[in-house]
Structures are given as structure tokens and as C-alpha cells.
Structure 1
């Protein structure tokens, strides 16, 4: 198998919902494995059977993976600017379509999608789960 880098996001019990939402925005192939069907043994925690053990959304541009947080004693802040998922598109119109879908799905604009000082198009949106999506498109 070739080397590949994928994003992994741990969500507080909303992984299945988020992955289904992102599939509705971007398309792609979604696979969700719940603890009840995974038949894992000797786990250091007792997961609810419906919790997501692993999910993957395969897009033409990459893979988003994730699972439900099992350690509820630690707070995992999602909304912030320390990280983002950067999605590069072929046209500004394509990026704007994804931004509009994320906002329509309960997200909020972080930075308008417009030509940036370096010449390319760039903008940011926070989806309804608090994940920051950055969009980029080279000037054609």
C-alpha cells in the first residue's frame, strides 16, 4: 500500500451524524463501524454498542476518519483555529458550493471566501460540529 495521510477526528458521540453530514456536503463513500458490531475484546473501557468505533469517508481528495470519544473525563474542544481541514478545489465556484452547504447545514462563516493577498482564493467556515474547514483554490 502506498503512503497516505488521513485526518482523524474524535467527536463526542456525534461521529456518525457528522460523517453522514459531510457525505451529504462532499459526496464520497462512507463506512461506519460501531462497537456493537466490531467484536473487539479486552478494551480498557466499556463502550456503548451504538458508539462509533471507526468511521471513514473516502473522497476523491482524501479520507476523513474518526470515532466517538470514549474518555468523557477530558474535554475535547472542537471549535478553534489551532487546526482546520483544508480542502483545495479546482474552481472558486466549487469551493463556494461546499461552503454554502456547510453553512446551510448549521455552520457559520469564519472568513469570507475571496482572493487572498497571496493571489489564490481562500476562506473558512465552521460546520455545526465546530470543525473548521478552510477552502483554497488557485487562481486559474
Structure 2
């Protein structure tokens, strides 16, 4: 069994996944717009290039997403995407990237369990936790 988070975006899924691919060294495995699919006839013309499904591989985890029509979009709450990063300098780089244009909820810092831990909502509305554990 595998758990794969599924995110919904405000029409900027393609931009978000492009950003995550570069920042996280991830690999986009699929990015499917409505245009050219059986779903195309069920969405307005201005929604044809929006993403009906996308998947990106981050490490060993598959993160999936799509754009959500404005009338169906709900506020993202009750979860965060957690990244476990081995090196403090890499945690700092990723946190800084996710913070650009976003909102820092907890600055990246040392805690009793981590060399670095912080929480941020990126500019696309995705909530993240960055954790760099202390060696055992």
C-alpha cells in the first residue's frame, strides 16, 4: 500500500509543479490538461489548459494534483506536506525557496528533535513542514 497526497490548485498547478520540479529535484511524471481529453467538453474554454491531473515524484513519494474550478475550491487546511531532508544546508535552501512569495508559519530553526524545522505556506497555497532530524 502507498499513500499519495493529492493537492488542488487555484488554476496554477502547472506552474507549481514546474517550481517543485526545479526546487526539489523532482520529476514530473504526468501533467494532463483538459484539452484533448474526454473531459474537455465538460469545462469552459478558459479552463481547457488547466490541469485535470498531474503527478510528480519527490524522492520515493508520488505527489498528485489538479486545478480545481473556483466554485469547488476549498481552503487548504488540516494537513501539511512534510519533507524530510538530511542536510541542514539543503533544508535551508528548500525552505528559502518555498518561502519566496509565501507565508512563513514557523521560521526554520533548531528544535529539540531537529537540526532544522520550519513550516511555510508556499505562494501556491501548499502548506509544508521542513524537517532535518538530529543524528541519533
TM-score normalised according to structure 2 size: 0.84
CA shift at 1:21, angstroms?
1.4
What is the root-mean-square deviation in Å for CA atoms of aligned residues?
2.0
Query: What is aligned with 2:5?
Result: 7
Q: Does 1:46 align with 2:43?
A: yes
Contact 1:38 1:53 in 2 (8 A): no
Structure 1 segment 1-140 matched on structure 2, within 5 A: 3-30=1-28, 31-40=30-39, 45-46=42-43, 48-70=47-69, 72-78=70-76, 80=77, 82-104=78-100, 106-117=101-112, 119-120=113-114, 121-140=116-135
CA distance in 2, matches of 1:95, 1:83: 20
- Give unmatched runs, 5+ long, in structure 2: none
Contact 1:35 1:52 in 2 (8 A): yes
CA distance in 1, matches of 2:92, 2:123: 17
CA distance in 2, matches of 1:9, 1:39: 22
Contact 2:83 2:128 in 1 (8 A): yes
CA distance in 2, matches of 1:75, 1:4: 26
Contact 2:10 2:73 in 1 (8 A): no
Secondary structure of 2:64's partner? strand
Q: Call closer, same or farther: CA 1:111–1:28 in 2, change over 3 Å.
A: same
Moved >4 Å (runs of 4+): none
CA shift at 1:13, angstroms?
1.1
